[in-house]
C-alpha cells in the first residue's frame, strides 16, 4: 500500500513505496525531483506496517488523540521534527481513536506517547509532551 504524493510541479499523483519515503525520487510524468517526505504521515495499520517494515531510516511515531490537549500542543513540534529530519528520518502519526490496535500493539497507556523505531525495533519511548529539539535528538541518536 504505497503512499500517494502529488508532484509539486505538475500535480500528478505518484505512488511512493514505504521504503522510499525518505529518498528523493522523480515524478513519473514530468520527471521533476520529488523531495523526501518532510511532513508527518497519518497512518493506518497497513501503511504503518509497510513503512516500519521497510524504511531504511529511523521513524518517530506519535501516538495521539484528537481530544488530548497535550497532543495538540505537541503537534507543531512533531511537524517541525518531520521538516528538520526530511530525508534522514520519517515521522508517523497514529490516531489512537481510529486505530486502537496500534496503541495496543505498542502498549501505549497514555497520550501523547512518542516511540522511535529503527529497523522495525523500538529504540526509545517517551510519554507526554516534548519539544522538537528532543524529538530531533532521538532520531539523530538512532541513525
Please list the active-site residues. Answer: 68, 71
Bridge partners of 112?
none
Half-sphere exposure for 72 (CA within 13 Å, toward CB): 4
Q: Which spans in the chain are helix H?
A: 45-54, 69-84, 100-105, 132-142
Around Cβ 10, how many Cβ atoms within 10 Å? 13
Tell me the three state secondary structure of residue 103: helix
Amino acid at each position: 500500500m504505497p503512499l500517494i504524493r502529488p508532484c509539486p510541479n505538475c500535480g500528478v499523483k505518484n505512488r511512493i513505496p514505504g521504503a522510499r519515503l525518505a529518498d528523493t525520487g522523480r515524478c513519473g510524468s514530468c520527471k521533476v525531483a520529488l523531495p523526501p517526505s518532510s511532513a508527518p504521515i497519518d497512518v493506518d495499520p497497513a501503511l504503518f506496517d509497510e513503512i516500519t517494515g521497510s524504511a531504511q531510516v529511523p521513524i518517530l511515531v506519535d501516538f495521539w488523540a484528537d481530544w488530548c490537549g497535550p497532543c495538540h500542543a505537541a503537534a507543531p513540534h512533531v511537524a517541525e521534527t518531520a521538516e528538520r529530519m526530511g530525508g534522514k528520518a520519517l515521522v508517523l502519526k497514529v490516531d489512537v481513536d481510529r486505530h486502537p490496535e496500534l496503541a495496543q500493539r505498542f502498549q501505549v497507556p497514555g497520550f501523547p506517547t512518542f516511540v522511535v523505531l529503527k529497523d522495525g525495533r523500538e529504540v526509545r519511548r517517551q510519554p507526554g509532551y516534548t519539544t522538537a529539539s528532543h524529538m530531533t535528538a532521538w532520531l539523530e541518536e538512532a541513525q
